[in-house]
Chains A and B, each alone.
Chain A
Amino acid sequence: MKVIREKPAVIQRPHNFCAGCSHGVFYRLIQECVEELGYSKRQIIAMGVGCNCNLTLSKIDTVDKFQCAHGRAAASATGIKRMRPDLLVMTYQGDGDCGVIGLGETLNAAYRNEKITVFTVNNLNFGMTGGQMSWTTLEGQKTATSVRGRDCAATGYPIHLPEIIAGQFRPAYAARCAVYDPKTVAQAKKYIRRALEAQINGEGYAIVELLGICPTNWGMSPVQAIEHLQKKALQEYPLGEFAGGEQAELAFLRQEAEK
């Protein structure tokens, strides 16, 4: 039989995430893009603390990874990128790492327009510690620290990192994607590629948030979790590009045409 699709060469072993978890697909898409762009042997990933640590622990690939302190990935990635501007430097974080404990580092790196690419998986809760409330947790969502459902008046409302960064700073690229069906997987790959190209072209900071599922901590089967994501999470977290990307390209082309 003819092989029509191969995994990225750097990935050598299976991951050890829970069944249905979005991390595996998202990370594979990132490595597919990195390979297509010719950076497989010229990449460093600043790793957050949380479920994403499993990428390091399971030794799934041979990629240079730097284990950061919880929340500090954008700062460590800044140090790496400034020392090695020739390399592709990414962070790989969860929503707790990137948008709660590391909110300061994330926003400040975006503010400086560091030429790094931030990948963050938003699964609406703190996965590794057993499903506590995160800043991304939906209103009314039950977690280990919001057992009666999240009361946003008392705990804050769901945070929208790509929108905040696109709205307040001048990033090269900001987008949100998902990976629950072939269409969204294709879209996610397009976004990831654009975010990496923004760095390679020296345009500046890029962030891609993956709206993922966490069947284990949501107490659902993977299929139920995808249905929940489509019915509830997508209302709060729309997919799309918020800075750079297709709309910006069209606007640029329109401007050029008018000249």
Chain B
Amino acid sequence: MQMAKKIMMKGNVAAAEAAIRGGAEFFAGYPITPSTETLETLSFRMPEEGRVFIQAENEIASINMVLGAAACGARAFTTSSGPGMALKQEGFSYAARMELPYVVMNVQRWGVGLGMLDSGQVDYLRDTRAGGNGDYRHIVYAPDSVQELVDDLYEAFDVSQKYRMGVLILSEGYLGQMMEAVELPPFKEIRRPDWGLDGTGEVGLKQLCPTYNMALAHELLPVRQERINRVCREMQRWESVETEDADYVLVAFGLPARVCVDAVRRLREEGCKVGLIRPKLVFPFPYDAFHRVNPNVRGFISVETNDLGQMVQDVALAAKRELPQRNVPVYCYTHSAGVPRVQDVVRYYRSVLDGAVKEVY
């Protein structure tokens, strides 16, 4: 088999192309920095492939357009960033009610409210939990390179239809904006599901609110829980770097994780037994990764580009669940906007050793 050629592509542009090759038939979105290149690329690439592109009046309308298309069985896609993602939350909740699959990419920008245009990982808690009303989750991919972003989007539509759940690609500003060499996968054949509104009134969504039935609220509880439990069993993915003998294990996703790989290498050269867990998906959180670390590990250090520490909560829960006999301290390096340097991570690690910083959990 001939290997596909690697080409230089910007993250957001590559994401658009990967979505098309993954079978996206419908896109609706609204411009917002730093995600706009995906919308721009799709505005001409979707019609070229005979698919639907709509520039909507806002993010609320775009997600509701996506739901309409998804209800017809289409592979529907939308993208946004901070404030725009906030507007879409209502739609996500409605999609969960009808078990509609769709893919959404959040190219995170740092800050609150209007935010700033700097990169950040400020939407972790919102995007791994239910941002809208009610109990539901997204399957959340957290790529750390343009190639992984491509691979994730390419797979996302299949996964979304398999579980009939929304899939969220948790990108970040710099990942969307940077260029890397990528290999693009071939075009997938578009397969329509065996459900969907077709106008006859006979097929329908099949599972329309099947489990959100007031009379059966308690009876169907196990059904609703099993959906998520199945995702948690089947979709945990991570990358471990030298965790078997590590005294301290860094935990990071996305771009900060790439910095942490270098930090591990540098500290190892100095004789420090440090490892790294990089969740490739952050929901489901890779609890299993924590089961395989050194049982005598002395601490976990969550490295995040936000202000208050968000993933650290999941790291603490994982430490409690997988190492129940030991109260392993969990620290958090909150870098705020941007991406930390290797020396920032190394310095924080040293202050953990010195006792200069206290554990969060």
Could you tell me the distance between the alpha carbons of A69 and B91 in the complex, rounded to whole angstroms?
7
Taking a contact as CB atoms under 8 Å apart, the answer to whether A67 and B202 are in contact is no
Taking a contact as CB atoms under 8 Å apart, the answer to whether B200 and A64 are in contact is yes
Stretch at the interface among A77-85, A121-129, A158-166, A182-190: A77-85
Taking a contact as CB atoms under 8 Å apart, the answer to whether A72 and B61 are in contact is yes
Q: Which has the most chain A C-beta neighbours within 10 Å: B25, B65, B76?
A: B65
Q: Which has the most chain B C-beta neighbours within 10 Å: A78, A81, A87?
A: A78
Taking a contact as CB atoms under 8 Å apart, the answer to whether A63 and B68 are in contact is no
Query: What distance in Å separates the Cβ of A5 from its nearest Cβ neighbour in chain B?
Result: 23
Docked complex: A79-133 residues within 8 A CB-CB of B: 79-84, 87-88, 104-105, 108, 111
Give 9 nearest A-B pairs by CB, closest first.
A79-B68, A79-B65, A76-B68, A75-B64, A72-B64, A108-B57, A79-B69, A75-B61, A80-B68
Could you tell me the distance between the alpha carbons of A10 and B200 in the complex, rounded to whole angstroms?
10
What are 20 A-B residue pairs whose CB atoms fall within 8 Å in the complex?
A: A44-B197, A61-B201, A64-B199, A66-B197, A76-B65, A78-B28, A78-B54, A79-B54, A79-B70, A80-B68, A80-B72, A80-B197, A81-B68, A82-B52, A83-B52, A84-B198, A105-B57, A105-B60, A105-B61, A111-B57
Q: Which residues of A contact B (CB under 8 A)?
A: 10, 39, 41-44, 46, 61-64, 66-69, 72, 75-84, 87-88, 104-105, 108, 111
Whether B42 is near chain A, meaning CB under 8 Å from some CB there, is no
> Which listed residue (A62, A80, A84, A104) contacts B202, Cβ 8 A?
A62
The chain A residue with its CB closest to the CB of B28 is A79
Taking a contact as CB atoms under 8 Å apart, the answer to whether A42 and B26 are in contact is no
| Residues of A contacting B202 in the complex (Cβ-Cβ under 8 angstroms) | 62
Whether B58 is near chain A, meaning CB under 8 Å from some CB there, is yes
| Residues of B contacting A83 in the complex (Cβ-Cβ under 8 angstroms) | 25-26, 52, 68-69, 72, 74
| Residues of A contacting B180 in the complex (Cβ-Cβ under 8 angstroms) | none
Could you tell me the distance between the alpha carbons of A28 and B202 in the complex, rounded to whole angstroms?
20
Could you tell me the distance between the alpha carbons of A67 and B98 in the complex, rounded to whole angstroms?
9
Query: What distance in Å separates the Cβ of A204 from its nearest Cβ neighbour in chain B?
Result: 16
| Residues of B contacting A68 in the complex (Cβ-Cβ under 8 angstroms) | 64, 67-68, 94
Taking a contact as CB atoms under 8 Å apart, the answer to whether A75 and B68 are in contact is yes
Could you tell me the distance between the alpha carbons of A81 and B70 in the complex, rounded to whole angstroms?
12
Could you tell me the distance between the alpha carbons of A81 and B68 in the complex, rounded to whole angstroms?
8
- Assess A80 versus B57: contact at CB under 8 Å? Given A62-B202, A68-B64, A69-B64: no
- Assess A88 versus B199: contact at CB under 8 Å? Given A79-B26, A82-B54: yes
| Residues of B contacting A82 in the complex (Cβ-Cβ under 8 angstroms) | 26, 52, 54, 65, 69
Q: Which has the most chain B C-beta neighbours within 10 Å: A72, A79, A83, A84?
A: A79
Taking a contact as CB atoms under 8 Å apart, the answer to whether A108 and B72 are in contact is no
Taking a contact as CB atoms under 8 Å apart, the answer to whether B68 and A46 are in contact is yes
Size of the B side of the interface (Cβ < 8 Å), in residues, is 33
Whether B56 is near chain A, meaning CB under 8 Å from some CB there, is yes
| Residues of B contacting A62 in the complex (Cβ-Cβ under 8 angstroms) | 201-202
Could you tell me the distance between the alpha carbons of A67 and B204 in the complex, rounded to whole angstroms?
12
The chain A residue with its CB closest to the CB of B205 is A66
| Residues of A contacting B28 in the complex (Cβ-Cβ under 8 angstroms) | 78-79
Query: What distance in Å separates the Cβ of B79 from its nearest Cβ neighbour in chain A?
Result: 16
| Residues of B contacting A64 in the complex (Cβ-Cβ under 8 angstroms) | 197-201, 204
Query: What distance in Å separates the Cβ of B309 from its nearest Cβ neighbour in chain A?
Result: 33
Query: What distance in Å separates the Cβ of B120 from its nearest Cβ neighbour in chain A?
Result: 29
Could you tell me the distance between the alpha carbons of A213 and B94 in the complex, rounded to whole angstroms?
30
Whether B90 is near chain A, meaning CB under 8 Å from some CB there, is yes
| Residues of A contacting B26 in the complex (Cβ-Cβ under 8 angstroms) | 79, 82-83
Could you tell me the distance between the alpha carbons of A104 and B98 in the complex, rounded to whole angstroms?
24
Could you tell me the distance between the alpha carbons of A44 and B197 in the complex, rounded to whole angstroms?
7
Taking a contact as CB atoms under 8 Å apart, the answer to whether B201 and A41 are in contact is yes
Whether B297 is near chain A, meaning CB under 8 Å from some CB there, is no
Query: Given known contacts A76-B71, A105-B64, what 19 new A-B pairs fall within 8 Å (CB)?
Result: A39-B199, A43-B199, A61-B201, A64-B197, A64-B204, A66-B67, A66-B71, A67-B98, A69-B91, A76-B64, A76-B65, A78-B68, A79-B76, A82-B52, A83-B52, A87-B198, A104-B58, A104-B61, A105-B61
Taking a contact as CB atoms under 8 Å apart, the answer to whether B69 and A42 are in contact is no
| Residues of A contacting B65 in the complex (Cβ-Cβ under 8 angstroms) | 75-76, 78-79, 82
Taking a contact as CB atoms under 8 Å apart, the answer to whether A69 and B90 are in contact is yes
Query: What distance in Å separates the Cβ of A228 from its nearest Cβ neighbour in chain B?
Result: 35
| Residues of A contacting B52 in the complex (Cβ-Cβ under 8 angstroms) | 82-83
Whether B66 is near chain A, meaning CB under 8 Å from some CB there, is yes
Taking a contact as CB atoms under 8 Å apart, the answer to whether B199 and A42 are in contact is yes
Taking a contact as CB atoms under 8 Å apart, the answer to whether A75 and B56 are in contact is yes
The contact string, 1 if C-beta is below 8 Å from chain A, for chain B 41-60, is: 00000000000101011101
The chain A residue with its CB closest to the CB of B201 is A62
| Residues of B contacting A84 in the complex (Cβ-Cβ under 8 angstroms) | 72, 197-199
Could you tell me the distance between the alpha carbons of A77 and B98 in the complex, rounded to whole angstroms?
16
| Residues of B contacting A75 in the complex (Cβ-Cβ under 8 angstroms) | 56, 60-62, 64-65, 68
Query: What distance in Å separates the Cβ of A171 from its nearest Cβ neighbour in chain B?
Result: 16
The chain B residue with its CB closest to the CB of A88 is B199
| Residues of B contacting A77 in the complex (Cβ-Cβ under 8 angstroms) | 68
The contact string, 1 if C-beta is below 8 Å from chain A, for chain B 181-215, is: 00000000000000001111110100000000000
Taking a contact as CB atoms under 8 Å apart, the answer to whether A79 and B67 are in contact is yes
